[in-house]
Amino acid sequence: LGNVLPEIPGPLLVLEHEGFVLRGRFTPGIDENEWCARRLLARIHRLTLDRLRREIEPVPVERFVDFVLRWQRTSPGTLGRGRDGVLAVITQLQGFEIPAAAWETAVLPARIASYDPRWLDELCLTGEIVWGRITPPAAGTETEPAGPVRAATRHVPITLMVREDLPWLRWRYAAKAEPPPLSPRARRALDVLVGRGASFFSDLAGLGHLLPAELHGALRELVAAGMVSQDGFGAVRSLVSPIRGHRRRRHRPLAAPRGEGRWTMLSSPFSSPDETIDGWARQLLARYGIVFRDLLAREHAAPPWYRILPALRAMEARGELRGGRFVANVGGEQYALPEAVERLRQLRDQPHHAPIRLSAVDPLNLSGLLIPGPRVRAHPGNVVIVAGGVCVAMRQGGERWISERLDPETAAAVRAV
């Protein structure tokens, strides 16, 4: 109806109340309210979405792999820098659990130029970032099979995350019926934290009547159960520090960390189901730019695809993202941030980047999922080298492989990575 009936708002208000018409600004350049039949507006909206989807030309999987390597700042010229760069990387990767040993040895250095651990310490000590486990141990992962809670080791899966996002990131703990079983020493340490709140190591030892070695073992157990964290990142580093010598490994526990900040409960009020799904949908978009079902194969902490899909459809209807066929030969629905679509277009005719070495626990290890070839198991010691959007070399256990189809110059570059 546009503005042709400004003199009769009364009847239009009645129709609006009955749900027949909608009021808003539908025409570009018009600053006044307009009226439109609900069904007609829905049809216009559907035709607009269909037109936007037809504008997109899908790219090969190899080009998408190139895109996501740049999107996650692992390609030359895209690395983050300094404290702000570390925060940006964590904001993008939060919710993806990685073995504790890999965060500062493989994942962060792959994305931050001249990575300095002090940047992460500062973010943790100021309270912006928190670390911990967000999937119950019984869930099982590639790096940790399902089973009873064991003391945390260098392979315990943890994530770094923005503290305010804890309520929806830890949704699997909200869905868990019972807490994991704990040893008596772990229960005593936990009781102190519940009753007293954040505490230093010495306070926990005294109030819990625990020897330092006993408390250290209790805290390892609580970390593995996803129940505690610490102000700093020093406790995680103590988990991954090597214990040299067979005799020391059998008879002497790793020295308890001191002066590394207070221990705290890793807990918060849980978000509502709708807030949780919306948070995860936006997180996956931030992580990959373009999302589809196959990308969730290693997202063990995320809700299943069928629960995330309605949120993505709603976001497309609101104009927050684009739906369509962005990556060829990939089944199911695909959704992308508008800026990701534009960057994907810009990469269409650009040359592939140089070979990139990735730890197999990195979120970008898409071997066997999107990247053709064998799947490299997500273990900290395994390595994948990607060039031209395909896996050109890998190391898995004692097995090493390099593609025979590489030209001599590329093969030499791969061996040097």
pLDDT tens-digit series, residues 93-130: 999 999 998 999 999 999 999 999 999 999 999 999 99
Counting residues of the chain whose pLDDT is more than 70, the rounded percentage is: 85
Counting residues of the chain whose pLDDT is more than 90, the rounded percentage is: 54
pLDDT tens digits, 198-222: 999 999 999 999 999 999 999 999 9
| 3-class DSSP assignment, residue 399 | strand
* CA distances to 57, 89, 216, 275 from 151, in Å: 50, 28, 10, 32
- Distant-in-sequence contacts of 174-182, Cβ < 8 A, 24+ apart: 174/270, 176/136, 179/225, 179/227, 180/136, 180/137, 180/138, 180/148, 180/149, 180/225, 180/227, 181/148, 181/149, 182/149, 182/221, 182/222, 182/225
Judged against a pLDDT cut of 90, whether residue 197 lies above it is answered with: yes
The pLDDT confidence band at residue 257, using thresholds 50, 70 and 90, is very low
Q: In this predicted structure, which of 98-107, 230-239, 342-351 has the lowest mean pLDDT? A: 342-351
Residues contacting residue 314 through CB under 8 Å, at least 6 positions apart: none
Judged against a pLDDT cut of 80, whether residue 319 lies above it is answered with: yes
Measured in whole angstroms, how far is the alpha carbon of residue 345 from the centre of its chain?
A: 24
pLDDT at 417: 60
| Mean confidence (pLDDT) of the chain | 84
The pLDDT confidence band at residue 166, using thresholds 50, 70 and 90, is very high
The pLDDT confidence band at residue 149, using thresholds 50, 70 and 90, is low
Bridge-partner residues for 394, per DSSP?
384, 401
pLDDT tens digits, 358-396: 999 999 999 888 887 778 999 989 999 998 888 888 899
User: To the nearest 5 percent, what fractions of the chain are helix, strand and coil?
Assistant: 45, 15, 40
Judged against a pLDDT cut of 90, whether residue 405 lies above it is answered with: no
Mean pLDDT of 3-20: 65
Tell me the C-alpha distance between 305 and 285, whole Å: 13
